[in-house]
Amino acid sequence: MATKFKWSLCVLLLWCLGASAQNGHQDPPKGFDTYQSGIRHGQLDTIHYPSKTVGTDRRALVYLPPGYDQSKKYPVLYLLHGIGGDELEWLNGGHPEIILDNLYHQGKVQPMIVVLPNGRAKKDDRATGDIMAPDKIKAFATFEKDLLSDLIPFVSAHYPVLPDAAHRAIAGLSMGGGQSLNFGLSHLDTFSWVGAFSAAPNTKMPGKLLPDPAAEKAKLKLLWLSCGKSDGLLKISARTHQYLLTHHVPHVYYLMEGVHDFHVWKTSLYLFAQLLFKPVTPKVVARYPGLRGE
């Protein structure tokens, strides 16, 4: 028993500390986010789904992978935007469809469907006027119900997605990163894969995110936190990371050179996507440059 305990502790330390102790950062390869004409490409759909939560039809984008086959079942990633954006922010600023197309071409990512919703759940959900107005801030919290009760059921009814938490991920940038932690960790029966890129101050305090870490960590396939080292919001990710370390919750904590911008968020997506819907172990994480302090 003593040997088994020591091995388990060693694995946990490799996972938590090895994934977070970075002395430098290696960017993704040149061209990782550049459109390539000579490869197969995915498809972007625009959907309108009825939202009982909001009382109107709402819009989202859906990315279908290259070689999409309706007869197959796919895992799904819900990818959320920031406070000043909408369902088009990732597409306009980060081009996840290009990043994923290139990863598919290299055989580095599992085929998945990606849903890009508008995380501001109100009838007028445009990113206009005072984006910090109380009703617009509240709408980001309201999106939790819209996501769980309206959008996920719609996607499940109209696309061939696998229906369990083990095949469903949520991630986002800034405000969307906070939403991903708040919603994902509160609903581990719905999401087993959670990623936060430069999580914003809407992120709940760690003790509220995981009030029973010993029980909740068993439901997680991957918990990912990343941020730019010069980001003024770094303290949000750092406090969550410290809580996870204290309570022995396996996770990736990935810091890179950068601020609060799409350089950080595209890099985060590039790395995070390669881990999704695959067996994730300390050995797998150690393959990623920069995650071991190399």
Delimit the domains of the chain by residue range: 42-124+131-285
Q: Which of 63, 68, 50 is nearest to 94 (CA)?
A: 63
The tens-digit pLDDT sequence of the chain (294 residues) is 444 434 344 444 444 544 443 433 457 899 999 999 999 999 999 999 999 999 999 999 999 999 999 999 999 999 999 999 999 999 999 999 999 999 999 999 999 999 999 999 999 999 999 989 999 999 999 999 999 999 999 999 999 999 999 999 999 999 999 999 999 999 999 999 999 999 999 999 999 999 999 999 999 999 999 999 999 999 999 999 999 999 999 999 999 999 999 999 999 999 999 999 999 877 776 665 444 332
Q: Which of 88, 84, 208, 187 is nearest to 145 (CA)?
A: 187
3-state SS track over 121-139: CCCCCCCCCCCCCHHHHHH
Q: Which of 218, 167, 165 is nearest to 8 (CA)?
A: 218
Beta strands 193-197; 168-173: pairing state = parallel
pTM of model > 0.95: no
Residue 289 confidence (pLDDT): 46
Place of tokens 């459109």: 35
CA distances from 293 to 19, 64, 229 (A): 8, 35, 14
The class level of CATH for 42-124+131-285 reads alpha beta
